[in-house]
Each structure stands twice: as structure tokens, then as C-alpha cells.
Structure 1
Amino acid sequence: MKNIVIFGAPGSGKGTQSDLLIEKYGLGHISTGDVLRNEIKNGTELGKTAQSYIEKGALIPDELMISILANVYDLFGKDHAGVIFDGFPRTIPQAEALKKMLDERGHKVAAMIELDVPEEELMTRLIKRGKESGRADDNEETIKKRLVVYHSQTMPLVEWYKKEGLHHHIDGLGTLDRIFGDIQKVIDNL
């Protein structure tokens, strides 16, 4: 079982690379963004709560995210090939909670893959994505807030995963094939 945390700033290519990993390795995929957008679209209480945080560019409270994550993770059953965690964890307490949640199931994170992309490129990609997809959170003001939150609250995870011996740095700038090839080398050596 290869549970993978795919990590990077908004617009770094986590979703795109996750799709390629799913196709190649048969992994499950939990995108907290997709889960939350689905809850918002369906008008659930969770969706309404989540939307109030997202509109401010803030992170969803840890307890809420862990609860959602555990429920979605359990839907894959006990004998899956592994799951890609996309957009989670975003803080050290979330990483610790994910580790605990997986431990309770006799599972673990096999690797944390960091997609590293320069900030100017992230802005370009996200503004383009916003125009193409109509995603409300892909506008310049919200993107800037999301990047500040990423750098202040999420970047410390790199050091945490280095201490765990699970961190793998990937240059996220370049061709899709080269980036995916670098990720495959990591996965194939787990």
C-alpha cells in the first residue's frame, strides 16, 4: 500500500499529477478541495461552514477536515493500493492527525511529494485556471491570500516530513512528462 501526500502551493500541479498517478498505479484519490466543493455545491451544513472559510482564503479547522478525511478514506476499504492525499495535510497538527488516523487502521504515509513551483508561475497558472474553470477562488486577491497562508502555515510541513524521512522534492516547473517521470522514480523506489 502506497499512501502518498502530494504537496505544493495552489496551482503547483497536484491535481494534474494525481490524475496521472491514479491512472498508472491504481491509487485512490482524496482531494480535500474537491470534497469541500462538492459539499458546498450540495448545500450541506458542512459545505456552508467550509464556504465561509474558503471565501476568506482561510484554512478549514483541523477537526472538521480529519473527520471528513477519515470518512472518505474508509470508503476505499481495507485492501486498496493506496490513496493520494491532495490538499491535505496543510499544517503540522493535520499531519500528526493524519498519521494517527492511518496508524489506527494499520496504515501509513509512504511518501510526501513536494511539487515546487516559483510564485510568479503559480499566479499565472491560477489566474488562467480561474478564467477557464470559473472557480471563484482563482482570482488575484484570493490567490495572494492563499499563497500567504501556504507560506506561513503549510511550508513548515516540509521540515516535518523531512524529519519523518518521507519528503521528496520535485521541480514542478517544466514539461508534464518530465515532472511525472521524476514522481514515478520516487513511487517505484518505495
Structure 2
Amino acid sequence: MNLLIMGAPGSGKGTFSSRLKDNYSLAHISTGDIFRKNISENTALGQEAKSYMDKGLLVPDDLVNRLVLDTLENLPEGVNGYLLDGYPRTLEQAKAFDEATKGTANEVDQILFMDVPHDVLKKRILGRRTCPKCGEIYNIYFKPTAVENVCDNCGSALSARADDNEESLKTRLGEYTRMTQPVIDYYGEQDKVAAINADNDFETIWAQITEALGK
């Protein structure tokens, strides 16, 4: 079973990717992990990607595609497929990926689209608070602490991520909509998209995912 998981920042991709990986024995792959692995191992593709990153440039679509395809050709033993997170980001990447994998064992079977209204995403991200000492995560809207801005576990003062602010979020959501929505539409035309209402509790969302995969 080969899956893509897509959704805006704060939609829960990371949380459910972990459970999908464990429950279905999938190789969880993100482009960030691919870049780090190839650069640390000093592969030819890694060196090429690093040459762009060192200049502050985006890695070109063609090179990203080659890195992903190379990773899929070398999946670890014992997995039942892959779960791609963060790829494809653009319509051009999606079309190239389809062309390279169509009719092969690496052809994508389904796209899980974690659908959350933007006003909910805003509260999830802007309301997020983390304890720097014990790592516990809270949210002032959905999971507040007993004492404002103080960790329930260890009593430390909570902090917010530097990029969890209104201006950054507006940019991130705008960029996501501009680049990723066409990808979702593209796979929707192939009847491969399962829209998951991710504005729910964990078990309700997981039930939707397992039902979609069961089909």
C-alpha cells in the first residue's frame, strides 16, 4: 500500500503518519529526511542538493523527484509500502512522479487529505505552547494548563515557537493553498483522494482513515 498524506500546517499529518507507519508497516518518508540522509552519507544526489541549499536556493523539482525515486527503490526490508509526507509539493512534481511510477510497484494507491478549516488551523498553531523542560505540548484553546502559561507537569514557564505567529501563519497557509491545492485536485481527478475531516478527536479521525484505506 503506497500512500501520500497531505494537509496544511497544523492538520495533524505528523501525528497520524506515525500511527499509519506502525499499524500498516509502511516506510514513512519525508523530503527533509531524504535530504538529510543523502547529505550525511555524501551521496552524489546529496552533494547536488547541498550545492543549492548552501546558496539558500530551493532544490529544483527534477532533483527532488530523483531523490524521492531513489529512496523508493531502496526501501528497507519488511515494509508493506510507503507513506510519503511533504511530497509532491507542486503539480509539476506530482505529474513527474506519476510518469515515473505508473504501472510499477511504486505507483501511489491513495492520497489522504487532512482537511481542516483555516480558522481551526489558526487556533491550533497560534495557541500552541510547549514546555522547554519536559516537552509537554499544550494549546490555550484546546488543551489549556491549570495555571496560565505554566506547565501542569513540572511547573516551568511555557513558550511558543518563533514562527507560530499571525504573519508567518498567513504566509505558510497562503503558500500551501497556492502550491498544494492543485496537487490535491490533480489526484482527485484520478479518484485517489480520501478527504479526512481532521477537525475531530483523534479516534474519530483514525476511524475515518482506516475506513478509507479499507475501501
TM-score w.r.t. structure 2 length? Answer: 0.71
Structure 1 residues 147-186: aligned runs within 5 Å: 147-186=173-212
Supply the distance in 2 between the matched residues of 1:175 and 1:164 (Cα, whole angstroms): 29
Which residue in the other structure is 2:6 paired with? Answer: 7
Which residue in the other structure is 1:111 paired with? Answer: 110
Q: Which amino acid aligns with 2:89?
A: R
Confirm or deny: 8 A CA contact 2:27 2:76 kept in the other structure.
no
Supply the distance in 2 between the matched residues of 1:99 and 1:10 (Cα, whole angstroms): 25
Supply the distance in 1 between the matched residues of 2:112 and 2:16 (Cα, whole angstroms): 10
Q: Which amino acid aligns with 2:120?
A: E
What's the CA shift for 1:151?
0.8
Q: 1:173 to 1:42 in 2, by over 3 A?
A: farther
Which residue in the other structure is 1:56 paired with? Answer: none
Residues 46-87 of structure 1, C-alpha deviation per residue, up to 9 Å, x if partnerless?
35734735xxxxx64311211221222222168841101111
Which residue in the other structure is 2:27 paired with? Answer: 28
The structure with the largest helix share of the pair is 1
Name the SS of the counterpart of 2:109 in structure 1. Answer: strand
Higher mean alpha-carbon deviation, 127-136 vs 70-79, is at 127-136
Residues 99-152 of structure 1, C-alpha deviation per residue, up to 9 Å, x if partnerless?
123237443111011101122332333345685688765554333222111111
TM-score w.r.t. structure 1 length? Answer: 0.79
Q: CA RMSD in A?
A: 3.2
Name the SS of the counterpart of 1:184 in structure 2. Answer: helix
Higher mean alpha-carbon deviation, 122-131 vs 96-105, is at 122-131
Which residue in the other structure is 2:68 paired with? Answer: 69
Q: Which runs of 5+ in 1 are unaligned?
A: 54-58
Higher mean alpha-carbon deviation, 26-35 vs 152-161, is at 26-35
Higher mean alpha-carbon deviation, 150-159 vs 69-78, is at 69-78
Q: Which runs of 5+ in 2 are unaligned?
A: 136-159
Q: Percent identity?
A: 33
Confirm or deny: 8 A CA contact 2:27 2:81 kept in the other structure.
yes
Confirm or deny: 8 A CA contact 1:130 1:136 kept in the other structure.
no
Supply the distance in 2 between the matched residues of 1:159 and 1:22 (Cα, whole angstroms): 25
Higher mean alpha-carbon deviation, 92-101 vs 13-22, is at 92-101
Supply the distance in 2 between the matched residues of 1:141 and 1:120 (Cα, whole angstroms): 14
Larger radius of gyration: 2
Name the SS of the counterpart of 2:191 in structure 1. Answer: coil
Name the SS of the counterpart of 2:62 in structure 1. Answer: helix
Supply the distance in 1 between the matched residues of 2:109 and 2:203 (Cα, whole angstroms): 23
Confirm or deny: 8 A CA contact 2:72 2:106 kept in the other structure.
no
Supply the distance in 2 between the matched residues of 1:8 and 1:24 (Cα, whole angstroms): 20
**Greater relative CO, 1 or 2 (CA 8 Å, sep 6+):** 1
